[in-house]
A and B are shown apart, each in its own frame.
Chain A
Amino acid sequence: MNGWLNILIQGTLLGGLYALFAIGLSLIFGIMRLVNLAHGDLIVLAAFVILAVMTSFGVDVLTALAISLPVMFAVGFVLQYVILNRTLGRDILPPLLVTFGFSIIIQNGLQEAFSADSQRLSAGAIETASIQLGGGLAVGVMPLLTLLTAIGVIFALNALFYWAPLGRAFRATSDDPMTAQLMGIDNRRIFAIAMGIAMIVTAIAAFYLGIRANFDPSIGPARLIYAFEAVIIGGLGSLWGTLIGGIILGVAQTIGAHINPEWQILAGHVAFLVILLLRPRGLFPRAFD
């Protein structure tokens, strides 16, 4: 009994990480209907940026994250403003193919700059710290922080959307880009800011990814797929749905890994496909694609 409760808890905490992967993807789809095939590689890029800041300035991982946040915001802003804005339109091919091209460029660029070796962000003693819950159950401090951060990020983004003028502009362009433009909103700038914010969330996801596990330049596509599965399971347009989607994926993978370690990833995919068959629009759909 405790075994299954433990699986459920560990899976839920893993889901927090997947939700962090997925929030950026969900955000930019919601605002500009852009599906970014380079999203996973941008997560890995952020992890390498944090690593590079740590090694070149000799700072700890949290300071490195703080320095990396504005850097990643700038990366997202420029990427969207200079290139991706040109691809938006009725045709879905240009954004897909351009981001797919970026996916290849980022992977190989990182390999050129940092080699194909596995890397890790070291955070000291907190990496292995855990809290005893009694009854033989324990939760790691870092996994718990990951889930709490995901919840905090969603609260912050929802507050931005519903209370801040910038959020109003986001919602307006999402609903009707043409009319928003007539009301004096510069869509190109709004989209660039949205991508910048998505990259900030991505950097936070990369921080937890890098402390939790090894990473190398080739792991981006798998992170994209997890993020995508979490978004679809949860339903488009709902950040809380994305969190639930991430948790379902995390629990499914943990159950799979418990039965046979080789089945972890497969179990996640199967859960995704089953939900897609039963509920094609996800569990909590709000937007139409």
Chain B
Amino acid sequence: MQQPRYRIETAVEATRIFAFAGIGLVVVLVLLPFFAGRGLVQDLIFVFYMLALAQLWNLLAGYAGLVSVGQQAFVGLGGYMLFAFTVYGGIDPLLAIVLAGVVAFLLAFPTALVVFRLRGAYFAIGTWVVAEVYRLVFAQVKPLGGGTGTSLSVGVINGLFGIDFLREVFGLRTSLARDMVMYWTALALAVGTVLVVYFLLRSRRGLGLAAIRDSEVAAESVGVDSFRTKLWVYVLTAGITGMVGALIYLQTARISPDAAFSVLQWTAYVIFIVVIGGIGTIEGPIVGVLIFYLLQNYLAGFGTWYLILLGALAIVIMLFAPSGIWGYVSARFNLVLFPLRRRLVRLNTEKVDSGE
């Protein structure tokens, strides 16, 4: 008799269609600033960096079980490092973004040394304390503006790599060329983050991560080093978060400790995006950031009521639909855009239980 044969599959039918649609979408987004208005370009920069932050927080909380409410530590750190490198180091802002990421990555190690001593919910508040320490320390650094903050000079921003090229080749105004370079940087960071998260989760380490999420004890018993896996995820996320932070403060061109280390802006909004979209999936934050952008556009004028609504929405979803909007859609229509779940598919169809 023939032994049953299996193959491991991750994709569903919609996945393959989406793979092509996704590439098409990215191409359209790359070309977009040539024919879209300046307002839309600036809005999309915001959407891209919030998407990157949401993906990173989702990787931490949704996959590694590290519920951090202190990611503003690395956003602010990245922002301040951008200012330090460009203003005092005279480094090109684009290179400074990468260097800011490296600094955030390196500082994440001593930070982890402290916060990894706390577990679960206490880890959450511990990360918040560390973010407060970063904020208070940067408020003491007088060359970077101390407690009141500082601004980037126009010269620094207009020295951005590629601006001259765009001006000469396309005859664009400096301000427009500046927006375009930042737009592409933001797009690259957002798409790069999605790809990093996707391939990390598809890798051997990602499999270990999923095992830890399901049962930490069982995962360790089959040889997954839980501490090292989580540490790796934590420092990687911190590094990319630092790069996103650097980009954010290159765009705003003004930084202050209270804004750069704001728990509302860089953690609360990000958590809402992930929870509303669907935690523990790559699609969730993408859906979430689009909804957040629409809410922000139409309701932000209501100020406090808008925030009350956001908080209430997150609570309702957490209580009644914990897998978020994407979780509902995905289960209802069997849609998987980023295939991560490994399924066994039987190749031969003969009966196997009839023999001896």
Task: Give the residues in chain A near B139, CB-CB below 8 Å.
Answer: 262
Which of A93, A101, A280 interacts with B61 by CB under 8 Å?
A93
* B305 interface contact, C-beta 8 A: yes
Which of B67, B113, B128, B275 interacts with A92 by CB under 8 Å?
B67
Q: Are B315 and A270 in contact (CB under 8 A)?
A: no
B window 238-292: CB within 8 A of A: 263-264, 268, 271, 275, 279
Task: Give the residues in chain A near B61, CB-CB below 8 Å.
Answer: 93
* B312 interface contact, C-beta 8 A: yes
Residue from B61, B129, B132 having most chain A Cβ neighbours under 10 A: B129
Q: Are B124 and A276 in contact (CB under 8 A)?
A: no
What residue of chain B has the Cβ atom nearest to residue A273's Cβ? B114
Q: Are B125 and A100 in contact (CB under 8 A)?
A: no
B window 106-142: CB within 8 A of A: 113-114, 117-122, 124-126, 128-130, 132-133, 136-137, 139-140
B window 303-348: CB within 8 A of A: 304-305, 307-308, 310-312, 314-315, 318-319, 322
Q: Are A111 and B304 in contact (CB under 8 A)?
A: yes
Which of B129, B132, B305 interacts with A112 by CB under 8 Å?
B305
What residue of chain B has the Cβ atom nearest to residue A224's Cβ? B125
Task: Give the residues in chain B near A97, CB-CB below 8 Å.
Answer: 271, 275, 314-315, 318
* B69 interface contact, C-beta 8 A: yes
Q: Are B114 and A108 in contact (CB under 8 A)?
A: no
Which of A92, A105, A270, A277 interacts with B133 by CB under 8 Å?
A270
If A228-B129, A266-B133 touch, does A276 touch B308 (CB 8 Å cutoff)?
A: no
What residue of chain A has the Cβ atom nearest to residue B264's Cβ? A104
Q: Give Cα A97 to B272, complex, Å.
A: 9
A window 36-83: CB within 8 A of B: 37, 83
Q: Are A87 and B307 in contact (CB under 8 A)?
A: no
* A102 interface contact, C-beta 8 A: yes
Task: Give the residues in chain B near A265, CB-CB below 8 Å.
Answer: 132, 136
* A152 interface contact, C-beta 8 A: no
Task: Give the residues in chain B near A270, CB-CB below 8 Å.
Answer: 133
Task: Give the residues in chain B near A111, CB-CB below 8 Å.
Answer: 304
Q: Are A35 and B319 in contact (CB under 8 A)?
A: no
Q: Are A277 and B117 in contact (CB under 8 A)?
A: yes
What residue of chain A has the Cβ atom nearest to residue B121's Cβ? A35
Residue from B130, B263, B307, B310 having most chain A Cβ neighbours under 10 A: B307
Q: Give Cα A280 to B116, complex, Å.
A: 10
Task: Give the residues in chain B near A37, CB-CB below 8 Å.
Answer: 69, 124-125
What residue of chain B has the Cβ atom nearest to residue A112's Cβ? B304
Main secondary structure, interface of A, reads helix
The total number of A-B Cβ pairs within 8 Å is 119
If A92-B121, A104-B264, A229-B129 touch, does A86 touch B319 (CB 8 Å cutoff)?
A: yes
Distance between A287 CB and nearest chain B CB, rounded to angstroms: 12
Distance between B98 CB and nearest chain A CB, rounded to angstroms: 29
Distance between A113 CB and nearest chain B CB, rounded to angstroms: 10
Q: Are B308 and A228 in contact (CB under 8 A)?
A: no
Q: Give Cα A25 to B121, complex, Å.
A: 12
Task: Give the residues in chain B near A23, CB-CB below 8 Å.
Answer: none
* A176 interface contact, C-beta 8 A: no
Distance between A47 CB and nearest chain B CB, rounded to angstroms: 18
Distance between A179 CB and nearest chain B CB, rounded to angstroms: 22
Q: Give Cα A92 to B213, complex, Å.
A: 12
Q: Are A108 and B307 in contact (CB under 8 A)?
A: yes
Q: Are A225 and B132 in contact (CB under 8 A)?
A: yes
Q: Give Cα A95 to B129, complex, Å.
A: 19
Q: Give Cα A112 to B307, complex, Å.
A: 11
Distance between A92 CB and nearest chain B CB, rounded to angstroms: 5
Which of B69, B118, B312 interacts with A232 by CB under 8 Å?
B118
What residue of chain A has the Cβ atom nearest to residue B320's Cβ? A86
Distance between A1 CB and nearest chain B CB, rounded to angstroms: 29
What residue of chain B has the Cβ atom nearest to residue A270's Cβ? B133
Task: Give the residues in chain A near B137, CB-CB below 8 Å.
Answer: 266
Q: Give Cα A83 to B315, complex, Å.
A: 9
Q: CB-CB contacts of B72-114 with A at 8 A, as 1s and 0s?
A: 0000000000000000000000000000000000000000011
Task: Give the residues in chain A near B118, CB-CB below 8 Å.
Answer: 232, 276, 280
If A100-B271, A104-B307, A111-B304 touch, does A92 touch B120 (CB 8 Å cutoff)?
A: yes
Q: Are A104 and B308 in contact (CB under 8 A)?
A: yes
Task: Give the residues in chain A near B311, CB-CB below 8 Å.
Answer: 101-105, 108
Task: Give the residues in chain A near B119, CB-CB below 8 Å.
Answer: 289
What residue of chain A has the Cβ atom nearest to residue B65's Cβ? A92
Task: Give the residues in chain A near B121, CB-CB below 8 Å.
Answer: 35, 92, 95-96
Distance between A90 CB and nearest chain B CB, rounded to angstroms: 11
Q: CB-CB contacts of A137-150 with B at 8 A, as 1s and 0s?
A: 00000000000000
Distance between B143 CB and nearest chain A CB, rounded to angstroms: 16
* Chain A positions near chain B (C-beta within 8 angstroms): 35, 37, 83, 86-87, 92-98, 100-105, 107-109, 111-112, 221, 224-225, 228-229, 232, 262, 265-266, 269-270, 272-273, 276-277, 280, 289
10 nearest A-B residue pairs (beta carbon): A35-B121, A104-B311, A108-B304, A105-B311, A101-B315, A101-B311, A280-B117, A266-B136, A108-B307, A101-B314
A-B contact pairs, 29 of them (CB 8 A): A35-B120, A35-B122, A35-B124, A37-B125, A93-B61, A97-B271, A97-B315, A100-B268, A100-B314, A101-B311, A102-B315, A104-B307, A104-B311, A105-B312, A107-B307, A108-B307, A111-B304, A221-B263, A228-B122, A229-B129, A232-B126, A262-B140, A266-B140, A273-B114, A273-B133, A276-B117, A276-B118, A276-B126, A289-B122
Q: A37-B124, A280-B118 are in contact. List 11 more A-B contacts (CB 8 A).
A: A35-B122, A92-B67, A93-B279, A94-B318, A97-B314, A97-B318, A98-B319, A101-B314, A109-B304, A269-B133, A273-B133
* Chain B positions near chain A (C-beta within 8 angstroms): 61, 65, 67, 69, 113-114, 117-122, 124-126, 128-130, 132-133, 136-137, 139-140, 147, 263-264, 268, 271, 275, 279, 304-305, 307-308, 310-312, 314-315, 318-319, 322
